[in-house]
Each structure stands twice: as C-alpha cells, then as structure tokens.
C-alpha cells in the first residue's frame, strides 16, 4: 500500500515555513543591528560635533589674545597686516585651521574677520567639523573710542536670591567664565546649577544640598556649603567659611575662620581676624548680610563656626582630608581629625603650638593677601528714559486706547507730534459690517474708515476659545486709570506688528508669539501657555526664523521686516534698512524691560528715585531676548522657563526683604546670532550701567574685542 503523499508535502511545508521564519528573524536582527549602529553613530557624531565647536571657540579666544598682543605695536602691526597670508597657523592646535577673510578699514578702530574650522575624531566614521566666523574689533593704544567689553554677568540681581528645589542651566558654546552676581544674600537648597563658573555675593552664600559646577564662590560675609556632590575649585569669604558632608574643593580662603566636617581640600587659608574687633575693611559684613556660620541653632544645627570664639583659625569638627596645606594665623582645632589626602603628608602651618604627626608636618603659615570684597553697586533704571525709542506707545486716555507712533516706514503714518495722545486703537469695531480689531484711526469712531485709519497693527486667528482683540485693557480691581493693566491675547501668527512696544501700566502676555521689545512702566508677566513666546527684534532678525530644537528654539518667529500680513507701512525704520538690510540696535536685543520712577530728587549724578513703580518680571514660558527688571525677576515653580539672553534685576522699589525667587526649571541660552547679542550689547539709554558691562576707553595697550560670531 502506498504512503499518503499529502503527509510528505506537509513535512516539506513545515520545513519551508521554518526556513522562512529563520530568514525573517535574520533580516529583523540585521535591521535592528543596523538601526542601533545608526543611532550610535548619530550619538557619536553629535558628541564629536560638540567637541569640534568647543575647539573652534578655544582657538577663537587664543587668536583674540594674540591680536591683543599685536596691537601694542600698532604701527608695525597695521603696516604688516595687508601682507599677511590668508591662512593662519595656530601653534599647538592640530586639526584646527584659520583663514583671514576681511580687514574692514585701516584707522582705529577697525574690524578683522576670521573663519576658524576645527575637526574632531578625524579619520573615523564619527569625524565632524565646525566652522566659526568671528569678527574682532581692534583698537590702537590710546585710540579713544569706547570699546564695550563683553559682560559675563549672565544673572545680575540686587536683593536676596532664593532657589529651592529649582534648576538653572546655562547653555553656551563659547564656554566663557560666566558669573552669577547677587548684591545681597544667596540661599540655595536642593538646587541644580550648571554652566555658571563664578557665584559672587555682597552678602552671604548658603548652598545646602543639590548640584553645581561652580569654579568659584565668593562672598563678603559667610559661606556655608554642605551636602553637595561636586567640586568647587575656590571658596572665598570675607568672614567665615563652614563646610560639611563630603564637599570637595581645591582652595578655601577666609578672613576669619574655617570650620570643616568631612571635607576634602587641597589648601586652606584662615586669617583669623576677629571681625567684631577689626577695623580692617576685609573682615566685615554688611548690616543686612546673613551670618550663616554662627553658633545659632536657628540657622543650622549640624555645623557651627565657633572657631574664633574658641581661639581657633581652623577647626575640624569631623574627619577632614587635606592634600597640601593648612595655613592660619590662629590655632588649629581638631588637628587629630585632619588626614592626608594622598600618600604625602601635608603642611600644618599655624602660628601657635604644633606637633608633627604621621599625617602632617608643622611649619610656618604661608598667608597671602586677605580676601578682597565683592563690590556692591547701585543703579537707577527707568523705562521712561527709553520711551522716546519706542515705535508704539500704548496709553489709556479717557476710556480709549491711544497709540503714539514713531519711526514707521509708511508716509501715511508720520511720527506722533509732541503733546498729542496719538491714534485711537479700534477694538471690537467694524469694517464693512465685519468685526474689526487692531486698526490705528485718527477719529474716535469704532467704525473703520480706511481714509482715516492708515494701518492695522494687530492680527489674530481665533483660538484658545478667544476671538476678541489682541490688546485689551482694564482699570478695575488692582488696576487703575493711572496704572492700567494690559492683556495681550494673540496667537501663533502675527499678533502685534514687530517693533518696540511701550505700555503705560502693567503688561500680561497671555497668549501669542510676538516679535517685539516689550517695555512697561509697571510689571510684566509672560504666561505659562507653552505655545506662547516673545522674540526680541534682533533675535528674530530681518525675515524671522524657524524652530531649531537643538538650540532651544521651539517657536517660529515673525520677521521684523518681511512679516505678513502687515503692510510695509508699519516696518520700523530703526531696524529695516535699504536694500533688504537689517540694522541691529542695542534696544533690539531686549525682549522685556519693566519699571519706572514717578518722582526723583536731585539732578544729574545726584538724581535719586524716591517713588519707584513696578519693575517685577515673571517668566513662565519662552523668552528669546535679554531681560531687565527694575525690581524683581522670578520664574514659576510649575513649569519650565526658557530665556535666550542675560537677566538683570536691580531691586529699586526699596521693598523690605527683597527676594528674587527662581523655581521650577530655568534654562538660559547665550549664543549670539548675526544680529543678536545676548548680553544686551551697548547699554540702553538710562542712568546706570545696565547688566554690569565694563567699558574700556581704548587707551592703555590697545584692545582686541570679539564683536560678532556665527556658525557656517
């Protein structure tokens, strides 16, 4: 009897099925492997790109220092400059090349443009390169032009600062030694700080818990540091330093005492000057400085700097590890708890009695100069000093919104004459029977007549359940006729015509994306609607920009000079030049400025504000531009705030216990563009030095200053 042929076919079919499944699995594994390799290569490439950019910036700084040396011999340097080869060799920088692109002018000052190309991980699949174009401004010795040195005070506050469970992240490809300056006390608890090298305080600093990559902490009074997980290179205090809980540092310097508990250090210096009895300017605290390192259980219980009262300059409460030396004019307390950090014994330099041990050898203290003081300053900032620079001035007069205009392109929109309240802004009006908002009209009528209404300056598409005007105002509740409350409700489209917009009163940016410098005589709040943003005109530039998530740009900006749907008539001539050119102004670097003075006493340098109004700025979402608050700057605790630019808050309202409070996550980006300077550039008109920018006069040995940069 013959076998069943179907049974044999089923066996073959099963075998074929297994083979096909095996092939499918092989293909899937190979595909997954390729995808994983691709992701790894992308990650490596991104990392190598970052390395290449960092190398380009390092070379740019080396080249700037070289140029600054050369301008000392100005005549010989300028004579040789036209004959220099285009290709520049930078010794010690393999994989980095530079090329001289242009020399603009010959008389001081003039600009030199250089393109620098850096490569990373050459000859590998992850090889990458970065080309950076930089412009240096060269000034001869005694040249006489005021040269603006770049400010490094990214955060500049007057008044106390508190950061509790907050995150501050500074992101910049230039890797400058940025500063965090506070004219007051600083208290940080469970905070995460990155990207700031130097923390400077005219009061005291308390950093308990969290993370931070500070290179230096410098305070005029006390420094208390405990329970943080990183190395701080240098800690300086005009009074006492107290440290605990596995803090690691290289150098500790105090004019009075140093108290340590489970600390790792290289060198320790304590001048042991009793501040209560000393007239030395180095050993004193301001009257409102917090004395964190005192034997006061209300401040902290685990660590108390009672060293001086006990006759000690340095005291080890718990085991402390020292690599090189302890130096003090006083006695050492708890010497038996000091251990060598490494194989070699350290030097115990004390003025009193000392007995060498297996951990240290006694010696004479090597004391340098006392710790110098962080200089405090006072600044008067009044937005009324820059009112005349605005393209639009919004005020509330006799129940109507009035708008003064200046510097617009259209012939039908001349500058508002002195003493005139300006155009009427039509809101909830009509045009040909349809709802009309945002028209500038010469008459009080809410019916838009194109003959008397030369331009429309707001635009929106209905969203967020709101189809009313972009600009509305209230005088009820906490608002008043003298200090009205303005509310902006635009959208992701046009919102308000680009330019500098000045508001008399408080300003709340509720919804919308704006290409404006917003200025308010009162306070400014940027709401937490994540689809909303404010772009400084210089940041958006001539034609605007698209999103660039890798640079923290998550919103698209309307161009200042090409923006639809606005007519050319409302282009601001301060920014929009002939032949499709863009003109950067210092004020155009700013996104938000707030605060004004109602009454002054004195004149000139003796002018003092005796009635300050507003000046508080709160940011809950994205701001692409520099920020200046006349009083307080705050971020929200319930979200993520992003700022592209420096932040200053000058605490002028005189409120008792002035505190700047940073909550949630705040990320600050500091990279310039062709038209934008994140430091604010030359200071806006006013009385004071703005962001703490230092200026040189072009005298002395000459200068080479980095003016602009961009990636190619």
> Which pLDDT score is estimated for 309?
55
- Give the pLDDT band of residue 145 (cuts 50, 70, 90): very low
pLDDT in tens, 556-585: 998 999 867 788 889 999 999 888 889 888
Average pLDDT of the residues in 62-66: 83
Residue 443: inside a domain: no
> Which pLDDT score is estimated for 486?
97
- Give the pLDDT band of residue 142 (cuts 50, 70, 90): low
For residues 211 and 188, give the distance between their C-alpha atoms in angstroms, rounded to a whole number: 10
**Is 258 found in the same domain as 199?**
yes
Average pLDDT of the residues in 622-639: 86
Residue 411: inside a domain: no
Candidates 539, 504, 505, 498; CA nearest to 627 is 539
Average pLDDT of the residues in 471-495: 88
Residue 177: inside a domain: no
Residue 13: inside a domain: no
* Alpha-carbon 514 to chain mean position: 20
> Which pLDDT score is estimated for 301?
38
Question: What domain range is 296 assigned to?
Answer: 183-363
- Give the pLDDT band of residue 465 (cuts 50, 70, 90): very low
| C-beta separation of 188 from 206 below 8 A | yes
Least confident of 173-182, 436-445, 517-526, 539-548: 173-182
**Is 583 found in the same domain as 530?**
yes
More confident residue, 146 or 257: 257
Residue 154: inside a domain: no
Burial 72-105 (b: 16+ CB within 10 A, else e): eebeebbeeeeeeeeebebeebeebbbeeeeeee
pLDDT in tens, 335-350: 999 999 989 999 999 9
**Is 126 found in the same domain as 253?**
no
Would the pLDDT of 207 be above 70? yes
> Which pLDDT score is estimated for 200?
94
User: For the chain, what's the residue count?
Assistant: 712
**Is 614 found in the same domain as 685?**
yes
> Structure tokens of 693?
């920018």
**Is 620 found in the same domain as 471?**
yes
For residues 166 and 157, give the distance between their C-alpha atoms in angstroms, rounded to a whole number: 17
**Is 610 found in the same domain as 703?**
no
**Is 520 found in the same domain as 628?**
yes
- Give the pLDDT band of residue 494 (cuts 50, 70, 90): low
Over pLDDT 90: what percentage of the chain? 34
> Which pLDDT score is estimated for 622?
92
Residue 468: inside a domain: yes
Global pTM value: 0.74
> Which pLDDT score is estimated for 277?
44
Q: How many CA atoms lie within 13 A of 697 on its CB side?
A: 4
Query: For residue 66, which phi and psi values (nearest 5 degrees)?
Result: -65, -45
Residue 160: inside a domain: no
> Which pLDDT score is estimated for 12?
55
> What does R_g of the chain's alpha carbons equal in angstroms?
31
Q: SS3 helix, strand, coil % of the chain, rounded to 5?
A: 15, 40, 45
**Is 280 found in the same domain as 140?**
no
Say what the alpha-carbon torsion angle 380, 382, 386, 390 is, to the nearest 10 degrees.
150
**Is 522 found in the same domain as 643?**
yes
Residue 628: inside a domain: yes
Number of domains comprising the chain:
3
Candidates 661, 678, 524, 690; CA nearest to 594 is 524
> Structure tokens of 489?
């409700």
**Is 545 found in the same domain as 582?**
yes
Give DSSP secondary structure letters for 633-693: EEE-SSSEEEEES-EEE---S--TT-EEEE-SEEEEE----SS--TT-SSPPSSSS-TTT-
**Is 240 found in the same domain as 303?**
yes
Sort strands 544-545 and 626-629 into parallel, antiparallel or unpaired.
unpaired
**Is 683 found in the same domain as 647?**
yes
Q: Average per-residue pLDDT in the chain?
A: 80
């Amino acid at each position: 009897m013959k076998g069943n042929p179907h049974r044999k076919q089923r066996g073959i079919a099963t075998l074929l099925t297994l083979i096909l499944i095996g092939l499918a699995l092989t293909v899937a594994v190979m595909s997954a492997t390729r995808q994983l390799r691709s992701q790894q290569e992308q990650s490596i490439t991104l990392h190598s790109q970052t390395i290449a950019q960092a190398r380009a910036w390092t070379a740019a700084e080396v080249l700037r220092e070289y140029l600054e040396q050369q301008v000392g011999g100005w005549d010989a340097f300028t004579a040789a400059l036209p004959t220099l080869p285009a290709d520049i060799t930078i010794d010690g920088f393999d994989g980095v090349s530079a090329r001289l692109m242009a020399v603009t002018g010959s008389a001081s000052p003039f600009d030199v443009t250089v393109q620098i190309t850096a490569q990373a991980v050459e000859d590998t699949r992850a090889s990458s390169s970065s080309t950076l174009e930089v412009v240096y401004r060269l000034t001869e010795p005694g040249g006489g032009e005021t040269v603006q040195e770049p400010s490094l005070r990214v955060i500049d506050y007057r008044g106390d600062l508190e950061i509790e469970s907050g995150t501050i992240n500074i992101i910049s490809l230039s890797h400058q030694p940025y500063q965090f300056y506070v004219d007051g006390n600083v208290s940080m608890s469970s905070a995460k700080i990155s990207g700031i090298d130097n923390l400077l305080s005219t009061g005291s600093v308390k950093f308990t818990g969290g993370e931070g990559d500070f290179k230096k902490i410098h305070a005029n009074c006390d420094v208390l540091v405990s329970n943080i997980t990183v190395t701080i290179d240098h800690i300086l205090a005009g009074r006492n330093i107290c440290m605990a809980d596995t803090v690691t540092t290289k150098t500790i310097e105090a004019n009075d005492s140093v108290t340590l508990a489970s600390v790792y250090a290289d060198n320790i210096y304590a001048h042991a000057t009793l501040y209560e009895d000393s007239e030395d300017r180095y050993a004193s605290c301001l009257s409102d400085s917090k004395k964190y390192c005192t034997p006061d259980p209300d401040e902290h219980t685990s660590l108390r700097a009672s060293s001086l009262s006990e006759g000690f300059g340095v005291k080890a409460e718990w085991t402390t590890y020292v690599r090189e030396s302890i130096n003090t004019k006083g006695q050492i307390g708890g010497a038996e708890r000091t251990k060598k950090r490494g194989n070699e014994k350290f030097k115990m330099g004390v003025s009193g009695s000392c007995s060498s041990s297996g951990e240290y050898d006694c010696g004479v203290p090597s004391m340098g100069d006392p710790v110098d003081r962080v200089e405090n300053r006072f600044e008067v900032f009044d937005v009324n000093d820059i009112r005349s620079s605005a393209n639009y001035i919004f005020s509330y007069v006799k129940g109507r919104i009035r708008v003064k205009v200046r510097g617009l392109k259209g012939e039908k929109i001349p500058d508002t004459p002195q003493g005139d309240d300006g155009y009427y802004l039509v809101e909830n009006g009509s045009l040909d029977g349809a709802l009309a908002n945002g028209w500038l009209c010469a008459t009080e009528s809410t019916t838009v007549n194109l003959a008397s209404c030369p331009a429309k300056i707001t635009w929106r598409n209905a969203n967020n359940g709101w189809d009313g005007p972009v600009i509305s105002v209230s005088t009820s509740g906490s608002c008043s006729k003298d200090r009205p409350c303005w509310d902006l409700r635009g959208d992701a489209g046009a919102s308000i015509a680009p330019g500098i917009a000045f508001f008399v009163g408080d300003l709340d940016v509720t919804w919308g994306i704006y290409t404006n410098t917003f200025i308010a005589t009162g306070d400014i709040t940027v709401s937490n609607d994540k689809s909303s943003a404010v772009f400084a005109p210089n940041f958006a530039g001539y034609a605007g920009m698209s999103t660039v998530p890798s640079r923290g740009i998550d919103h698209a900006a309307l161009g200042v000079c090409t923006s639809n749907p606005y007519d050319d008539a409302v282009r601001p001539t301060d920014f929009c030049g002939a032949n499709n050119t863009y003109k950067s102004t210092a004020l155009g670097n700013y996104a938000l400025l707030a605060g004004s003075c109602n009454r002054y006493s004195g004149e000139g340098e003796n002018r003092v504000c005796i009635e300050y109004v507003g000046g508080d700025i709160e940011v809950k979402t994205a701001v692409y531009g520099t920020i200046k608050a006349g009083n307080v700057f705050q971020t929200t605790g319930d979200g993520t705030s992003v700022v592209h630019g420096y932040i200053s808050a000058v605490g002028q309202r005189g409120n008792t216990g002035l505190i700047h409070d940073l909550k949630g996550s705040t990320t600050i980006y500091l990279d310039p563009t062709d038209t934008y300077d994140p430091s604010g550039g030359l200071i806006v008109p006013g009385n004071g030095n703005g962001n703490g920018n230092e200026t040189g006069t072009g005298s002395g040995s000459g200068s080479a200053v980095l003016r602009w940069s961009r990636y190619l």
